[in-house]
Amino acid sequence: MLLVEKISEMQAISASLKRENKKIAVVPTMGYLHDGHLNLIKKAKSSSDIVITTLFVNPLQFAPNEDFDKYPRDMERDIKLAEEAGSDYLFCPSASEMYPQNYGTLIAITGITSKFESAMRPTHFNGVATVVAKLLNATQPHFAIFGQKDFQQTLVIKQLIRDLNMNIQMIIAPTTREEDGLAMSSRNVYLSEQERKDATIIYKALGEAISIVQKGEKRRKIVNAVMHKELRSVPYIRIDYAAAADSEYLFEPEEFLPSQQIVLLIAAYLGKTRLIDNALVTVPTI
């Protein structure tokens, strides 16, 4: 596996690979790789000839009060894991390479960014859209692989690729979970032993909501209430949102329609650690 730090070098490598008719897949990450990331790399390997993993903790998507400085980092470990998973290149630019002096461009996504994560983190998706556009421009892939865990983010990136006419196919891989259902996340290392035990309530709340939808419940407020009730069985949990929405545009109708696919979205704090998760469920036709 080759490490690349310069955008111009990465672009030159991708251009050369394309001249050889190689199919390129990129897996964008912020590092501190876990099995979820490694599964994305393996997914990329199965759909392409060349896999580029990017490793960049993006300052633009963190608000001043968030955990940019504390975000876990272990470059040596990440290099080893990415190579073992099958990555051919690790693109790991510095902040000054990505955002040099006098940098002044931000990409703003409208519509699907008006709620949920954006309500809690107003500048977050501008930072995400900007860095993803720059990473895609640097790596010039045919395929871009993302995980379902950051569901609203996948919609943002899908819109980015569509609206900016990028000739890139986006592939969304299922969320990788621990044995007890907790979605894998680099931030899970922040959890205390008790918080880690209690964090499974998020997966349980999603399961309760899936169950009532599959039994025929179409009323959005009822589905939301079921998730809130389950989450509150952990007394100290702080809920940012627990909501059902249309999975394509995040519309929130009073009632969902038969055959409509719903996304169930949860963001909550256990102690100082903010966790997000989601699940998809389709309203039955009968």
Contact 209, 244 (CB under 8 A): yes
Contact 128, 157 (CB under 8 A): yes
Name, in order, each residue with C-beta under 8 angstroms of 100's C-beta and a sequence gap of 6 or more: none
Instruction: Identify whether 37 is a catalytic site residue.
Output: yes
φ, ψ (nearest 5 deg) of residue 171:
-120, 125
Give the active site residue among 37, 124, 142, 228. Answer: 37
- Stated as kind and residue range, the H or E segment containing 27 is strand 24-29
Question: What's the order of all strands across the beta sheet hosting 273-282?
Answer: 238-246, 261-270, 273-282
103: number of Cβ within 10 Å: 12
Query: What is the C-alpha separation between 179 and 133, in angstroms, rounded?
Result: 34
What are all long-range contacts of 44-49, with beta carbons under 8 Å and residues at least 24 apart? 44/86, 44/143, 44/145, 44/171, 45/85, 45/86, 47/23, 47/143, 47/145, 47/171, 48/22, 48/23, 48/24, 48/141, 48/142, 48/143, 49/17, 49/22, 49/23, 49/24
Length of the chain: 286
Q: Which residues have a catalytic role annotated? A: 37
